[in-house]
Amino acid sequence: MENKKRALFIDRDGTLIVEPPVDFQVDSLQKLEFIPGVLRNMHFIASTLDFELVMVTNQDGLGTPSFPTSDFLPPHEKMLQTFKGEGVEFDDIIIDRTFENEHRQTRKPGTALLGKYMDDSYDLENSFVIGDRITDIQLAKNLGAKGILLQNADTGKRMIEDAGLEQTCVLVAESWDCIADYLRGGARTAQVSRKTSETDIYISLDLDGHGRCDISTGLGFFDHMLNQIGRHSGFDLTIKTKGDLYVDEHHTVEDTALALGEALRKALGDKRGIERYGFVLPMDDCNCTVALDFGGRPWLVWNADFKRERIGDVPTEMFFHFFKSLSDAAAMNLYVNADGSNEHHKIEGIFKALARALRAASRRDVFRYDLPSTKGAL
């Protein structure tokens, strides 16, 4: 059976080129400005990935006195020539010329001009609509495709939630680098549920997030440390742990580490393109080193002594246990070293160093999308 074609339906103004904020018309060469990173990344997409490239744009009143075609064509053709010079040629360009108040189905998010892509010859489920407006994501829903919103992370998330399009929008991207990364390597997310007679744990992890955390384990200081991981790694991290704290803290800390390690291992996937290694961090009177290798061989070297029995509501003996369980479940090598006089600073420095090590080691370069190993496997 012949494989169906996939397409990228890409908005123009605000996505490929800058949309003028006053009249929203690119009607002169002076107004033509490319979105940062779009040329490099569109070249990568066109030369590397197997998508047809379809430009879909609303140009209000094009061909009327309010927007003469003679004003539209010079910057539009210059844009196309520039893309062609970068090895990017669009397979189709679809322009709706109606005004918004006409409410025509030819206009995004309507699909009347896209009928040929809806005849079952295209794999729309694995095609994408890329744009900067909510109408682009609505178009994705109407096509049965996936949506990528090019927006500020917080603004974009609110737009998607307000429109109820969480199931359609797979990525809110702040740059074309993020879009190319996603299209090449896919999402790096994981969800883990772990339930035993001692603990009930849910973890959601996005390695390419923005440092958003929602942590609740029943142990205040432990929550504070886990927040350091999300915040300083840039991962979006949700951890909900209900443990048998009426017994003690052991199961809560250990099982959370095991679930978090499993989430890291799942989110990393085949590990292609990652840096693999990371990191050192000073904190006030403490010098903390966390050297990390996602090499697939769990091992922990722990050189951190604590004089206090507890920090906050967590026994200090559990810190070693947390890192050992995390290392085992994530299949990573960890070397932890900490010197300093303040016990709180020492362990917080270790968690922050871990976060930065995770950030450095998990960073993915889609332009160098190989496995960082001479063995051919990690």
Give catalytic residues, as residue numbers: 11, 13
The H-or-E segment that residue 279 falls in is strand 277-283
Closest CA to 359 of 262, 235, 272, 271: 235
The H-assigned helical ranges of 131-175 are 134-143, 153-163
Three-state DSSP class for residue 371:
coil
Length of the chain: 378
For 260, other C-beta atoms within 10 Å of its C-beta total: 26
d(CA 60, CA 27): 12
Number of Cβ within 10 Å of residue 108's Cβ equals 23
How many other CB atoms are found less than 10 A from the CB of residue 109?
19
DSSP of 59-85, one letter per residue?
Answer: -TTBTBTTB-HHHHHHHHHHHHHHHHH
- Nearest CA to 352 out of 273, 245, 244, 280 is that of 280
